[in-house]
Amino acid sequence: MRLRKILEDVYEIELLDASDEELIEISETLGLALSLDEMKKMQEFFQSLGRNPTDVEVHAIAQGWSEHCSYKSSKKVLRKYIFGIPSTHALIVMQDDAGVVEFDDEHAYVFKIESHNHPSAIEPYGGAATGVGGIIRDILNMGAKPIALVDPLFFGPPDYPYEKLNPGVKHPRYLLNGVVAGIRDYGNRVGIPTVAGITYFHEGFVNNVLVNAGCLGIVRKDKIVRSVVSEPSLLLVMVGGRTGRDGIHGVNFASKILGEKSEEERQAVQLGNPILKEPLIHLILEANDAGIIRGMKDLGGGGLGSVVGEMCYGGGMAAEIHLDNVLLKEEGMAPWEIWVSESQERMLLAVREEDLNKLEDLCEKWDVEMSVIGKTKEGENLEIYWHGEKVLDLPLKFVTAGVEYDRPYKIEKKRVMQEIPIEPNYRNLFLSLLSSFNIGSKEWIIRQYDHEVQGKTVIKPLQGMIGYEGHGDAAIIKPLENSWRGLAITTVANPQLGEIDPFWASLYTVDEAVRNLVSVNARPHSFSDCLNFGNPEREEIMGEFHEACRGLGEAARALGIPYVSGNVSFYNEAYGKNIPPTPVLMAVGIVEDVRKAITSDFKEEGNSIYLVGETREEMGGSEYYRLIGAKSTMVPKVNLEELKTRSEQLLKAMDLGLVVSCHDVSHGGLAVALAEMCLGGNIGAEVDIGSLGAMRSDFKLFSESATRWVCEVKKGSEKEFESTVEARKIGEVGGETLRIRDNTRWLFNVHLNIMRDAWKNALKDYVG
């Protein structure tokens, strides 16, 4: 690679006459993560200008063209299936760095979920912590106060043999402990409750852990801030943390396949500081209340390059930047390093010159550093200066808009088949399911998170009698002091279904998200999606992506529930293996009155138990078949009209006060749903599944068919419930055991204490 020094710390890259081999060398040596075709496109551009680029320009372009920043492989598919879905109930106020949706006449809620997968695979504590920090800033830069966090996590099995690990791959137990600690320490210290999430174990995540983080905030409608600027002569002011070498090439790293040498890219992992984030949040909210912010964006993936480019290009402005004004953590940083650094806890504010003193006063009050690094201007070009010398002069469109691909794809159709295993010992199988990694208690994780801080969490992630709590379907936040209106939050994914059929798995994911919200008496309102997939350069992976997006779009369009924000994470591949297709949903629902919220625990002896929805012999992707090693490609199908009808019926029954507990039927099927309700209420039940049809008992108990709930109905309210909801009565609450029969055949009778021991000890031997 040929360089020519033109200034102190600035080099010219001899690109114009570089051969293909030299272009590849430039990309690899500088860590650009660009393909040969992309390097050629860059070369042709500078040939048209008649000059070589500076190293600042090359790094700026590479960052803007990264998969993480430009969505070059996914934009076309997202436009086709996901974008622009009309809403039946939710009024979308704005779609920017996060979705802004109407909450009431005066307020909006803001939320988003995104990935921090590659950094967490290399440095689980720091990667997970900065994932939380980054998503908080996405909410903050819309002017909203962050009030809740979620954490969907996906690991390899905790008992995975060490000898089977590939070189450079960390063991799932190490990753689990590090990731949970990072989320715990950041969320707890910054004072935002972690209220919902997923912890999922699957061999497909051994090489590539998935760490997704979501945040929800609340804002007055008249205080919403845009992430774009459309006014010239605004001062661009950096506030918060200083800029360092941590996080350099983070987005480029996220756009590459992990391998044995990925550990050497540890500098791509940012360093979070929740102690600094907390006063930064106060500063931003006070500055916004004072009306001095004309535009704002957080410095996360892509650093200054993404922020300045996207803010100005989105508003039709250009910018002039002076990098020597940026406050640094360490001496000797080159201009390109400053431009692409993804150091945490930084925000860029656009303010008018007459408001600068007010911002300075607020920064002094909260002990937060600030520096004026440039200004907006008319024009098309971004100009960057280093000690008075221009080191970058490029059209913002070329740098920021990036490239876009219509990647070839291949949809693989699997043969429909289902093995019929020998009928199991029901008691033993039931207890094995309760103690399996994906069904057993995650209390060890949940209890490390402060889900009570801020005092807004009405329904917690663990629900039931004190000392006997079980998992709930969704958490509920009461965001406003003087209103009983609430927000329900849940996260959903199902990789076991995804690896069989991405289309139906996506429909099922939407179905489960709706079920979870309805279970707590919330009307499903809006979605944010985090789409985790393998290498998009593989046709079969793009086929999975197309099918998943088609399923997500079809479901949301039929339900009238829009995707208001989202994220795509590609290149989750290592050693030739890709993760299962894993679209994750963060779903938000409106609770009209939090005092009418429903939890999942059984309440009172003598109450009736009803099953809403149809059970079918669809065992593909089920925990039952995974546990016994049986094969099936018959995944649960979703009837969207049925989902709408049943949801409306249940919400009406809940509003009438007929339902005292409710739980969706998902992982482990009906048997597990009943067990979890018993455990949370510390009370047993007697159930007869004879009315579910002529199928075998194991299918009735362990099928994970969609659109199903178990409801506990007040004694004496059965007739009114049956006239409101299409459902079948299957039992009564009572006793100290869960007793299940199929007509006259008893399948098992298990005491609460035995169920609880199995459920609580699922991860006991593998966690701290």
User: pLDDT (tens digit, 9 = 90+) per residue, 369-400?
Assistant: 999 999 999 999 999 999 999 999 999 999 98
Residue 230 CA neighbour count, 13 Å, CB half: 7
Comparing 272 with 459, the larger pLDDT belongs to 459
Burial 173-212, CB ≥16 within 10 A → b, else e: bebbbbbbbbbbbbbbbbebbbbbbbbbbbebbbbbbbbb
Q: Read off the pLDDT band of 2 (50, 70, 90).
A: confident
For the segment 40-62, what is each residue's pLDDT rounded down to a tens digit? 999 999 999 999 999 999 999 99
Provide the pLDDT for residue 266.
Answer: 52
For the segment 529-587, what is each residue's pLDDT rounded down to a tens digit? 999 999 999 999 999 999 999 999 999 999 999 999 999 999 999 999 999 999 999 99
- Phi/psi region, residue 743 (left: phi>0; alpha: psi -120 to 50; beta: rest), is left
Q: Read off the pLDDT band of 765 (50, 70, 90).
A: confident
* Residues 192-197, mean pLDDT to the nearest whole number: 96
Q: HEC profile for 86-130?
A: CCCCCCEEEECCCEEEECCCCEEEEEEEEECHHHHHHCHHHHHHH
Q: Is residue 758 within 8 Å of 431, Cβ to Cβ?
A: yes
Give the global pTM: 0.95
Q: Read off the pLDDT band of 86 (50, 70, 90).
A: confident
Q: Read off the pLDDT band of 176 (50, 70, 90).
A: very high
Percent of the chain exceeding pLDDT 90 equals 87
Provide the pLDDT for residue 585.
Answer: 98
Comparing 547 with 342, the larger pLDDT belongs to 547
The bridge status of strand 523-532 relative to strand 608-612 is unpaired
The mean-pLDDT minimum among 82-86, 214-218, 575-579, 583-587 falls in 82-86
Catalytic option among 68, 249, 471, 525: 68
Provide the pLDDT for residue 768.
Answer: 60
Domain ranges (residues) in the chain: 3-67
Q: Is residue 299 within 8 Å of 346, Cβ to Cβ?
A: yes
For the segment 60-79, what is each residue's pLDDT rounded down to a tens digit? 999 889 888 889 999 999 99
DSSP state of 398: I
CATH fold of 3-67: Helicase, Ruva Protein; domain 3 (1.10.8)
Burial 105-124, CB ≥16 within 10 A → b, else e: eebbbbbbbbbbbbbbbbbb
Instruction: List, in sequence order, every beta strand (DSSP E) within 229-313.
Output: 235-240, 295-298
Provide the pLDDT for residue 96.
Answer: 72
Rounded Cα gap, residues 192 and 216, in angstroms:
10
For the segment 138-156, what is each residue's pLDDT rounded down to a tens digit? 999 999 999 999 999 999 9
* Res 94 pLDDT > 80: no
* Res 267 pLDDT > 70: no
CB atoms near residue 504 (< 10 Å) = 24
- Token pair in block for residue 51: 């000059």
* Res 268 pLDDT > 90: no
Catalytic option among 59, 107, 116, 322: 116
Provide the pLDDT for residue 649.
Answer: 98
* Residues 445-466, mean pLDDT to the nearest whole number: 94
Alpha helices in 124-196 (DSSP H): 124-140, 172-190
For the segment 227-239, what is each residue's pLDDT rounded down to a tens digit? 899 999 999 999 9
Active site residue 59: no
Active site residue 68: yes
For the segment 501-536, what is each residue's pLDDT rounded down to a tens digit? 999 999 999 999 999 999 999 999 999 999 999 999
For the segment 613-625, what is each residue's pLDDT rounded down to a tens digit? 999 999 999 999 9
Q: Read off the pLDDT band of 92 (50, 70, 90).
A: confident
Beta bridge partners of 577: 574
For the segment 705-722, what is each residue's pLDDT rounded down to a tens digit? 999 999 999 999 999 999
